[in-house]
Every structure is written in structure tokens, then in C-alpha cells.
Amino acid sequence: MAHDYETHVAEARRAALTGWDFGWLTGRTAGEGPSWDYAERARALLPRARRLLDIDTGGGEFLASLAPLPPGVVAVATENWQPNLPLARQRLAPLGVEVHRTSGLNLPPGPFDLILNRHGLLDAAGIRAALAPGGRLLTQQVGSRNQLALNEAVGIPAPADPDGWTLDLAVRALEAAGLRVTAAREEMSPYTFHDIGAVIFQLRAIPWQFPGFTPSAHEPALRRLDRHIRRTGGFTAHDHRFLIEARARD
């Protein structure tokens, strides 16, 4: 029997937000994501790297998923959000990865042969300075048009400029910093929420896109959305993602 609105809200409030683990949404949402496979491309680049940097690693989930790392590689990760640091260090220490508390604006000293950046801050000049000659950057970014339908449905103003972070802007910044972009793709992928609890978890997990959200403050809109999901089977927004691979000049 389907849960009522109050039960979904209570479950979503209790759900733990740790690192970049969205496993609680399994079975509650559906979406294939972008057509490329970021992890597959990262694994293809790893064997060439002697020094590796993972920017804004979260709880270290993605970097740990690449284990085992190539023998002899020196791997470093950064993370600036304090609650993520113990989790990242616990998860990555067995892989020999040193985790620095810093943002994507203050990178550890390089040079690095490979820099990975999955949904982290992309500082083009800093990345260029940290890359070894011929070193590579692989990044997947969340664009500024991400899930704007959810902002509208809940009544939270969207970011001031929906075109404020796009593939074109990122490519121009990297090229201006002296990197050669070798691959660039951008997509809007449908992402469907199958219950209001999943919506609430998402709104909690991404506070920078949904500032000021609380289930009580936004209850009327959430109840309308709950009725829509029960009537139609889901609510679909779109994930805005872009992928860039770039190389430092030799």
C-alpha cells in the first residue's frame, strides 16, 4: 500500500545526507543519465597517470569506485565541506589517497598527470597551473539549467541566470587558461521522481539550488506535487550535465 504524504515526509526528513551518496533514492527515481560514461573514461585515463588529483571528492565515493588504482600512482583528493572529510578520509585511506581540506580554488601543489573533477568547482587557471605538461583534465559538470522544473514546482526561485554555467562558458574558460579541449558534450537528461519523499530528499541534498527549503515552509506546493505524482505516476525534471576532456600543452 502506498505511503501517505506525512509518511513520505517523515522518511525523507530522517534520511541521512552523507557525502555524495544518493542511494536512498534507489527505486524512488528513474533516469538514465547522460549518454557518456564518466567512470569508464576515467578508468581509461588512469594507467597513464603517475600523479592523480580528484577535486571536490565529496565522501570519496567516485574515486573509491575506481579501485584498485594503478600501482605506483600518487593520488590526492580535495574536499572543503567539513562533514564529508572524515568519510572521505576513512574511505580513501586504504587506497593510499591523501585528502586535503580545500576547495577547487586552492589546489594542492602539482604537477598532476591527471585531474578528475566530477561535479566540483572548475577553476580553469588553477587547474592549468596544477597540470603537468601534457597532463589531462576530465570533468563532468552540473549546468545551471539543472532541474529548473523542480524549482518552479516547489516555488523556489531558479538561479538568477539559467545560462550562467554551460558547456560553452566552461570551454572558453579552459581555453583562455591555455588548455586544449579535446572532447566536449552537453545533454539534458530526464529524471523522474516517483514519490514526494524522493523530491524532498533531493531538495535537502542540493541546498545551493533550493535555498531556504523546508517541508513545512513549502507544504502547499509539496502537497500539490504529491497529488500530481500519485495521479500521473511521477514528476520529471531534467539533469543538465556536460563533459569536458582537456589537455595541457607539452
User: 99 CB contacts (<8 Å, ≥6 apart)?
Assistant: 57, 60, 76, 77, 78, 79, 85, 88, 89, 92
207 burial level (CB within 10 Å; 0-12, 13-18, 19+): exposed
- For 168-191, what is each residue's pLDDT tens digit? 999 999 999 999 999 999 999 999
Residue 213 corresponds to which cell in the numbers above? 527549503
Q: Is the pLDDT of residue 156 over 90?
A: yes
- On the question of pLDDT at 125 being above 60, the answer is yes
Q: With 60 as the cut, is the pLDDT of residue 60 above it? A: yes
Predicted pLDDT of residue 17 = 84
Averaged pLDDT, 49-58 = 96
Least reliable range by pLDDT among 19-23, 30-34, 109-113, 228-232: 19-23
Residue % of the chain over a pLDDT of 70: 99
What pLDDT score was predicted for residue 21?
Answer: 78
* Number of independent structural domains in the chain: 1
| Predicted TM-score (pTM) of this structure | 0.93
Q: pLDDT value at position 180?
A: 98
* pLDDT tens per residue across span 66-112: 999 999 999 999 999 888 999 999 999 999 999 999 877 889 988 99
From 144, 238, 235, 157, select the one nearest 194 (Cα to Cα).
Answer: 235
- pLDDT band at residue 162 under the 50/70/90 scheme: confident
Alpha-carbon span 21 to 128, nearest angstrom: 29
Q: Which residue has the cell 538514465?
A: 32
Q: What is the pLDDT of residues 196-222, one digit of tens each?
A: 999 999 999 999 899 999 999 999 999
Of 175, 89, 179, residue with least CA distance to 128: 179
pLDDT at 159: 80
**Is the pLDDT assigned to residue 1 strictly greater than 70?**
no
CA distance 228 to 217: 19
Buried b / exposed e over 154-183, threshold 16 CB at 10 Å, is bebebbeeeeebbbebbbeebeebebebee
Whichever domain contains 187, its CATH number is 3.40.50.150
Per the prediction, the chain carries an average pLDDT of 95
Q: Which domain holds residue 128?
A: 5-248
- 157: Cα within 13 Å, side-chain hemisphere: 4
